[in-house]
Amino acid sequence: MRADTEQDILKTELWWTAVVTAVVTVIMLAIIYAGVVHHINPPSNIETIDPKTLHLTGEFTEGNLGTRVEAGDQVISRIVATQFAFQPQCVVLPANRTVTLRFATPDVIHGILVTGTNVNTMVVPGYVSQVHTVFTKTGDLLMPCHEFCGLGHSQMWATVRVVPENEFKPGPDGRVSCDAR
């Protein structure tokens, strides 16, 4: 399209403005649809942690790992991803109840997914990754690392054991582990 006059240039600019506006609108509608209908959302919290002292102080020390029922009846599972294992290797979570999964790593970038669910996140050194979800099916679900993290990457996986609500029985300290079951 050749623009000969100022009027032609104005029409061309308006036409391209309409095209760009339409494309941006379609993209925004697709993002809203994915967020509302498929529950696919970008990370909503940025929480930093010192990867060098991850295992020494704070919520990711060995005694705090695993699933615990905390104040307000909130179920939180804390997991550390290291080359080439998850700590703990197995977590127990209740079905049909909102749970929070919190991940941290002291070494390299890992990727977490729980098979058959919408849980899928990256675990980056220096940051806490957090996922809120509701597991609707019971059983043992695999949780492999899906980000190549080194030569032992293929051996890096854990189990998420989803149990019916009536079988989810935390101990006096609020903890639930695969060993106690």
Q: Please report the pLDDT score of residue 4 as a whole number.
A: 78
Tokens 């492999």 found at = 144
Question: Residue 35's pLDDT is what?
Answer: 85
Tokens of 87: 């700590």
* Angstrom distance (rounded) from CA 136 to CA 138: 7
Mean pLDDT, range 140-152, rounded to an integer: 94
Q: What is the mean pLDDT of residues 4-25?
A: 94
pLDDT at 119: 94
**E strand or H helix at 121, and its extent?**
strand 120-123
pTM for the predicted model, two decimal places: 0.76
Q: What angle do CA 99, 103, 105 make, to 5 degrees?
A: 170
Asked if pLDDT for residue 1 goes beyond 60, the answer is: no
The 10s digit of each residue's pLDDT in 40-60 is: 776 667 899 999 998 888 899
**What distance in Å separates the CA atoms of residue 58 and residue 65, rounded to the nearest whole number?**
11
pLDDT digits (tens, 9 = 90+) for 97-134: 999 999 999 999 999 999 999 899 999 999 999 999 99
Distance CA 101, CA 86 (A): 13
Confidence (pLDDT) at 82: 94
Q: In the predicted model, what is the mean pLDDT of residues 158-162?
A: 96
